[in-house]
Chains A and B, each alone.
Chain A
């Protein structure tokens, strides 16, 4: 039985898992679901990485790549308050993933390394569904060379930490409390 049955992955953590060389182990331990647009974006984003070549099509047997109806994205946009539409800008893959998560009645977790994704989850009252890569790796028991306790906001790996997720989720929750996110 895998540890997580409903796990959505964003492009940032996918690239990092490949970079750390633990992608295969990770998908053995979790039921990974990726939106079709994130899969394309992860491939694009990994181009500059020397030893990372991502083609998620080759893992189709082991992970789930989802396609979504356009109406989901439209509904998601309507859920965002007007003030927020001018206040945040996310990539298409993130829209697709967030729209899917918001529409589903299942208890999904979304592992991201993007501050705006966490901020939106906080705003939408879904902060507890966000996960950092640090939390995910600890929960599935995968060791890496990263010393999580030593990472500071100045480090490149900061965005994979629990503190980073908490900080930006809190920002979204603050927006909600201040009325920006009244749904």
Chain B
């Protein structure tokens, strides 16, 4: 594939028109068109500018490697296709950079996630529950799964998890190039992100079941979404532990107040709504009744102090650690490091100072 085709594909992948490219780079429509149709070869500086806004490395345009389009699964895809494409391009860039860092530091490890083998049409809520139990057990998530799920996925299973501001809830993908990856919405509340993470994890674990046909960006069917919700609910709210908490909170009138339920929801890092839907399964409550409870709870909870969320970092801790390691080992240039870390060049320089003492035997810990 020639450079012109690559430029066109890269531009379309970001959802940019030629006018938009002109706005961002100052490269005129006629020049861009000439580049895309191979009438003229771009100058190096033009290609560098285009690579930057298309979120691709310059090497991408100079190699003969075939281009593959990978499927991304959206939760609440925005109506504006351009915005969706821009988000996907940024997510892809971060995942590619992450994989590059793994390669630079020799830390590419394919870790197998728990798996269930069954055909899509045979999948049931029971299977979703079974898968959640399997994950909980294999991950060793303990009593409060939301507290350690993200860390476990990132550090042990090397799932690439980013938090960005974008219109939509979450995206998951299972790439043959860089493995499993999840994008969460930075602006969502902590409990919502916890649920989205578990929900997207379901899609990754069942990718081989529901995504047999390689149709790009196929939306999950409603049934699959419900299985994903059931999985997330079961994973974050383990049956026996949640039941114990609820029974402990029952008052003398054999009822549990919304405030008490809210406390439990906080403890498990989920929303009150998510906990109440879990009651549907735990106590066989009809869905209509749960809906009424949720509406009623909303009125009461609006008058109570709001729960505090957090402000998550956009880049994963492991990603940053690998970037610093690559910089210090002389594998990543300073300017590139700044771009990877999305920090200024000035700030990046602080990471380059070398401290010989860290290599000193005297402060190494002997385990012999």
- On whether the beta carbons of B49 and A40 are closer than 8 Å, the reply is yes
> Which residues from B are CB-within-8-Å of A87?
104, 331
> Could you say which of A24-32, A65-73, A125-133, A134-142 contacts chain B?
A65-73
Within 8 A of A (CB), among B26-65: 41-45, 47-49, 51-52, 58-59, 62
Contact indicator A96/B48 (Cβ below 8 Å): yes
Given contacts A89-B332, A90-B333, contact A67 B45 (CB under 8 A): yes
Report yes or no: B44 in contact with A70, Cβ–Cβ below 8 A.
yes
Closest partner residue, chain A, to B339 (CB atom):
A91
Contact residues on B (Cβ < 8 Å of other chain), bracket: 35 or more
CA distance A11 to B356 in the complex (A): 26
**Hey, which chain B residues are within 8 Å of A176, CB to CB?**
none
Q: Which residues of chain A have C-beta atoms less than 8 A from B352's C-beta?
A: 115, 158-159
Contact yes or no, B43 A36, CB < 8 A: yes
- CB-based contact A74/B62 at 8 Å: yes
Among the interface residues B43, B52, B335, B350, which one has the most CB atoms of the partner chain A within 10 A? Answer: B335
Q: Which residues of A contact B350 (CB under 8 A)?
A: 156
Identity of the chain A residue whose Cβ is nearest the Cβ of B100 in the assembled complex: A89
- Interface residue B103 (Cβ < 8 Å from any Cβ of A): yes
Give the residue name and chain of the B residue nearest to A11 (CB): B335
Is A155's CB under 8 angstroms from B345's CB? no
Closest A residue to B97 using CB positions: A89
Is A165 part of the binding interface, using a Cβ–Cβ cutoff of 8 Å? no
Select from chain A the residue with minimum beta-carbon distance to B336. A91
Chain A residues within an 8 Å CB radius of B330? 88, 115-116, 119, 168, 171
Select A37's contact among B41, B44, B104, B345, beta carbons within 8 Å.
B44
The contact sample of 22 A-B pairs, CB cut-off 8 A, is A35-B44, A37-B48, A40-B49, A68-B43, A70-B41, A70-B44, A73-B44, A87-B104, A88-B332, A89-B100, A89-B326, A90-B336, A91-B336, A91-B339, A115-B334, A116-B333, A116-B336, A155-B353, A156-B349, A156-B350, A168-B330, A171-B330
Residues of A at the B interface (CB closer than 8 Å) are 11-12, 15, 35-37, 40-41, 44-49, 67-70, 72-74, 77, 86-96, 113-117, 119, 153-156, 158-159, 168, 171
